[in-house]
Structure 1
Amino acid sequence: MGTSVTPSQLRADIYRLIDAVLETGEPLVIERKGRTLRLVPDHGEGKLSRLRPQPEVIVGDPEDLVEIDWMADWDPDRALNP
């Protein structure tokens, strides 16, 4: 859950607390009047954002592949001896 502080504690030591969040990745919980705020590090873009496009990948419903007529592309000689 992370370290919990009051606004007064945050004000007194804000730079050390911010540095601790950045170094550890642990959130800082600030409690005020029965409610909480969280200071969390930004982890940047997710792993999926680094994916490169793969044009040879078929995107769509797999059931559509069943309906494709593959006979024009099928070579029996190549099928037996790849």
Structure 2
Amino acid sequence: MCATFTDDDEGKRVVNANGEEIGMIQSVEGGAVHVDPDPGMADSIKSKLGWGDSDEETYMLDEDNVESISDDEVRLHEM
């Protein structure tokens, strides 16, 4: 899926392929999506998303990682 994000996606949960919440969409700016990660998210998931080890407040979500967008969540591909 080639994800197309809008301002309406702000506040949606971001979940992995198993349905576990990994964060929430903080903002959508010009198609760029910023995710506030769940504090308990594993470093291995952060690494797979290219979010590194830094303690950023929000991280960019690459739309290539998105499986689907529903009314209340963004689901990522299996990693």
TM-score (norm 2): 0.24
Larger radius of gyration: 1
Between Structure 1 and Structure 2, the one with more strand by share is 2
